[in-house]
Structure 1
Amino acid sequence: MTTAFVLKGYPRLSETFIAQEILALERRGLDIHIVSLRHPTDRHTHPVHAEISAPVLYLPEYLYQEPKRVLCAWWKIRKRKGYAEARKVWLKDLMRDRTPNRIRRFGQALVLAAELEGRIDRLHFHFLHTPASVTRYAAMMLGLPWSGSAHAKDIWTISDWEKREKLAAMDWLSTCTGVGADHLRDLAEPNPEKVCLDYHGLDLARFPHTETDRPRRDGSDPSDPVRLISVGRAVAKKGYPDLLTALSKIPQNLQWRLTHIGGGAEREALKRQAEEIGIADRVEWLGAQPQQTVLNRLRQSDLFVLASKIADDGDRDGLPNVLMEAQSQGLAVLSTAVSAVPELILDGETGALVQPGDVPALTAALAQLIADPDLRDQYGAAGEARVRTAFDAAVCITGMAQRFGLPEDPKGSGKRNPSESDKAAACG
């Protein structure tokens, strides 16, 4: 079976979990053709991208840029049996969502259908908003089955009517958090079984255990401050204004330095905030970086911090892979009890959680962990043990591989494939 994976953009540094999934399914035997709605913008790629063998089809990002291509696609597809029904569904969607993006989705679906006709047997999307719409229209035009994966922003920022109709029309949907699965199952009635929980997990071969002997920094030495690190895009849901504010309120006798890795539209605003509150000289901004650089920095750090929250538009994290990456290196983690983060981090056992948006609590937790290397070691060891036993990507891919009709991975045959009721290790 050849399956077209429809992605918003490829390759992307912030979507390692998608590349990891594609590579794992390729290695299980799935023939994949990647379809990208946008061209790449990141300067770097991860090693996993070089290992993926799937060809990539880039659709027109904007229809006016390639009008001949779109017109030729329409001419080819217009007389297919499924075209009229796809157009009918699209027009119904357009009446409820009168945006240029909705028009672009239909044009991209035409190009996808025309250029991959006869070359694919199934379509599978990543993200329930734009990629799912393009996939749905194209699948109808070609009369093919379709499925998909939902993650975070796409679940929480589109209308319920759109989620309900897509869930009713597709074969099955994978999602990567228990909280997301519960929400989508309510919308999938009377067929909640269509929604499957598949944690991404972590490719532990890329994040091997290391015997890092971290110095016993406790914030008392100005020449050797506690090294904090945060990896994430500078967007509202990551809570970086809260983190900077909390850091500015830490007692002056505690010495620390923060490294931020990630791109994002709010980076310059965050730099200005750091200047205004007097901590700019203690914050290092590295921008987006390849995986090996991130890994090296994690090993050099004392505490990972991510202050995720629900943005004003409803956008929120799912289960950020960076938390698993940090814990895989025995690094203590401080985050917030938002979305699926508590499905990974057990507060007071494998890390520390505060309520999202609670700056005083975040300040207190930072101060405690900066001053207490023993507590950091305790959280680091417990967090790594949990990730390596409960969030192994080789196990977590099993449910999805089965739905694609792939055979069991003989290399993983001896590993435990836990049930979904086991929240510590639910993979499918």
Structure 2
Amino acid sequence: MTEKKKIVVLLKGYPRLSETFIAQELLGLERAGYPLELVAMRRPTDKKRHPVHDEIKAKVWYLPEYLHEEPLRVLKALVRVCRTKGFASALKAFWADVKRDFSRNRFRRFGQAAVLVAEWPRDAAWLHVHFIHTPASVARYASMISDTPWTVSAHAKDIWTSEDWELQEKLAHSDWAVTCTKVGFEQLTLLSRGRNNVHLSYHGLDLDRFPHFLGSRPSRTGADAFDPVQILSVGRAVKKKGYDVLLKALATLPPDLHWHFTHIGGGDELSKLKALADELGLQKRLTWKGALDQRDVLEHYRTSDLFALACRVTSDGDRDGLPNVMVEAASQGLPVVSTTVSGIVELFENETNSLLVESEDIDQLAGALDRMIRDPALRVRLSTSAAAKVRSEFDYHNSIRDLDRLFTTSWSKIP
């Protein structure tokens, strides 16, 4: 049996409420016998944390987020690593990147890589990184400097907002990459230039944390003003989530159709969305909960009637993959109304286990919401089908087995 070597996992920020899928994976790897050490490029900003973060045993330390904040630490690291055999090749790659992308951010990544190598734990033999954009830039430079093999998990924004040339070079240099949607897999496979080192593995859920919901939901139809249909959405208030479209769709529903919308999550667009809701006259029908931990979110899945998210592709190419919150909602028998963007269609199928519409189409979205609000039997039929698919195909243990196989195969080739 191949020995499980210690892995340094490089993260953009840790812990983060919006990245439960990463925390879940880290805990799964620990339970599979992998010793981990976590290194983050940013300190936490969330005021809350999920229970899973407290179960992860790995040590966590932080790189300087901005080089000018810790100049002596960065200078000491550069002095130390400049004597390594790989420093010259890393510096050459860095200058080639700077010529194509001259930015302070590029210099920051090289400095962070130097610190990572200088402070590398002696008992670690592998570097794995989440996100193929800026964290993978740090990983690539660090790997060159230290001659340490590295691998990467790519997700959504990091794929679609990165330049093709940069993705190609990272895929050429990393041992392998794994991604969580078929559409992302196809894009990265195209850019891997025949290396066949890109693998598809859905994150899935820890179904022990999301057990079957054995309760029953009221057969609300939107006819009773004192018992409105409860619509839930969970997600950061950012443009790719399409909350402006969702609010506009809600505003077009007939005034005699009774519903209440609850949003869970933080995000930079929250104040703008609240202003839009006021402009649309929706104040009395909305509740903004802010960020909540996983236990509170689970309770909202179970007390709501339907889940809605209007995902879109933004002007810079950013988009969701398969939002984990939609998988969570489906696991609890909560029917989903969403769009056909990106990896959503890899779990959800219109009229079979959800109602899906084209993104940006306010009228279509309003029509789907209207149908779902009025028809409790439709909600039951669609949600039952979606929950069965989640439990048969989206168990996170499958993802951990995929990663275990990939790490084991890579390590067996090392002399």
TM (norm. structure 2) is 0.96
The match for 2:329 among 306, 315, 326 is 326
Q: After superposition, where does 1:207-218 map in structure 2 within 5 Å?
A: 207-218=210-221
Separation in 1, partners of 2:54, 2:284: 37
Please state if 1:266 is matched with 2:269: yes
1:365 positional shift: 0.4
SS of alignment partner, residue 180 of structure 1? helix
Q: Which residue of 2 aligns with 1:239?
A: 242
1:281 positional shift: 1.2
Q: Which residue of 1 aligns with 2:412?
A: none
Contact 1:117 1:142 in 2 (8 A): no
Q: Which residue of 2 aligns with 1:83?
A: 87
Instruction: Please list every run of 5 or more consecutive structure 1 residues that lacks an aligned counterpart in the other structure.
Output: 407-428
Separation in 2, partners of 1:301, 1:78: 57
Aligned length: 405
The answer to which of 111-120 and 279-288 deviates more is: 111-120
Q: After superposition, where does 1:2-401 map in structure 2 within 5 Å?
A: 2-116=6-120, 118-191=122-195, 193-401=196-404
Separation in 1, partners of 2:401, 2:351: 31
SS of alignment partner, residue 118 of structure 1? coil
Separation in 2, partners of 1:400, 1:251: 49
Separation in 2, partners of 1:120, 1:211: 44
Equivalent residue letter for 2:357 = V
Equivalent residue letter for 1:324 = V
Deviations 1:15-65 (A, max 9, x none): 000011111111111111111000000011111111111111100010000
1:105 positional shift: 0.3
Equivalent residue letter for 2:240 = K
The answer to which of 390-399 and 196-205 deviates more is: 390-399
The CA RMSD over aligned residues, in Å, is: 0.9
Deviations 1:132-170 (A, max 9, x none): 000111111111111000000000001000000110111
SS of alignment partner, residue 122 of structure 1? strand
Separation in 2, partners of 1:270, 1:327: 25
Q: Which residue of 1 aligns with 2:413?
A: none
Quote the sequence identity (%).
52
Separation in 1, partners of 2:322, 2:255: 33
Contact 1:13 1:46 in 2 (8 A): yes
Instruction: Please list every run of 5 or more consecutive structure 2 residues that lacks an aligned counterpart in the other structure.
Output: 410-415
1:212 positional shift: 1.9
Equivalent residue letter for 1:148 = V
Separation in 2, partners of 1:343, 1:190: 24
Contact 1:82 1:142 in 2 (8 A): yes
Separation in 1, partners of 2:239, 2:89: 39
Separation in 2, partners of 1:212, 1:333: 18
Runs of 4+ in structure 1 off by over 3 angstroms are none
1:117 positional shift: 5.3
Equivalent residue letter for 1:16 = T
SS of alignment partner, residue 268 of structure 1? helix
Separation in 1, partners of 2:173, 2:139: 11
The answer to which of 377-386 and 170-179 deviates more is: 377-386
Equivalent residue letter for 2:84 = R
Separation in 2, partners of 1:101, 1:349: 45
Contact 1:226 1:302 in 2 (8 A): yes
The answer to which of 396-405 and 327-336 deviates more is: 396-405
Separation in 2, partners of 1:15, 1:340: 17
1:272 positional shift: 0.2
TM (norm. structure 1) is 0.94
Contact 1:231 1:261 in 2 (8 A): yes
SS of alignment partner, residue 15 of structure 1? helix
Contact 1:126 1:149 in 2 (8 A): yes
Deviations 1:156-206 (A, max 9, x none): 001000000110111000000000000110110121x20000100011000
SS of alignment partner, residue 237 of structure 2? coil
1:397 positional shift: 2.1
